[in-house]
Amino acid sequence: MLPAQSVALIADADVYFRMAVGALLRRELGFSDVIEVPTFDEAKEYLLGHPEASVAILDLSIPDMKAAAGLRIIRALFPRIKLAVTSISTSRRDILSALEAGVHGYVPKNLNVAGLTSALRLVLDGALYVPPILAEVAPQIPESTIRLTDMRVFSDATARGQLTPRQKDVLELLVQGKPNKEIASALNLGEGTVKIHLAAIFRYFGVNNRAAAAVASARPHPSRDFSVLGRTAKAGPIPSESAGMTPVALSL
């Protein structure tokens, strides 16, 4: 449970949605101070003056934000804050763009109260929340989706500060310098799924690009065991930024 003094920020043009999420944060997630603003500029201004805020929940379409571009600004300015985005959109492109921008969770507005609470709790616990709808967007191409059971393992392991077996597979190929397309082919995954795993890997190492992740994976760390990789960064060239992955914003 979060400490009672934790501060949360909600930025949404819909006053009723702000009120509903604010009530949920206070009642279910232990926040005593919830700030509500209707625009991106007001959200940014508040965060600049209040470093004690621990989480920001932004609607993807709030005025002034410009979608993923605004999310990248927030991640760059406030790398330690937990950032979740809410949206009426369940577009695969919107979800992946937000994840690439560095958000810790993409929360559809059509979730019920229990679903919204669960999603935000995962984000606050350090997991990367991805909506189940992502697994339903392209049913004609099963390999390009993530099964719900995979998503639970992904979230639970990330919350415990671990990489899942699949993320370790992705990391091994990243270290070899493989671009996203080749990683996807080798692991029988969709490129969108690879991007989600890369976002979790970047966040795990506290880096914002492929090259930094490859270097970090070769460094010994008392709480991280990479023996399962079977290789270090010496196994291949350090991947370049042009190798098929848009950098995630700072400290994902």
Tokens 């984000």 — which residue? 123
Hey, where are the domains in the chain? 7-135, 163-235
The DSSP letter of residue 13 is S
Q: Where are the beta strands (DSSP E) in the chain?
A: 7-11, 33-37, 53-59, 82-87, 105-108
Q: Does domain 163-235 have CATH number 1.10.10.10?
A: yes
- CATH architecture entry for 7-135: 3-Layer(aba) Sandwich (3.40)
pLDDT in tens, the chain (252 residues): 444 548 999 999 999 999 999 999 999 999 989 999 999 999 999 999 998 899 999 999 998 888 888 999 998 899 889 999 999 998 888 988 888 888 889 999 988 888 899 999 988 887 788 887 765 544 333 333 333 334 444 444 444 457 888 888 998 888 887 888 899 889 988 888 888 888 888 877 777 777 778 777 766 554 444 433 443 333 333 343 333 333 332 222
pTM value surpassing 0.85: no
User: Using CA atoms, how far apart are residues 197 and 189, in angstroms rounded to an integer?
Assistant: 11
User: Using CA atoms, how far apart are residues 104 and 75, in angstroms rounded to an integer?
Assistant: 10
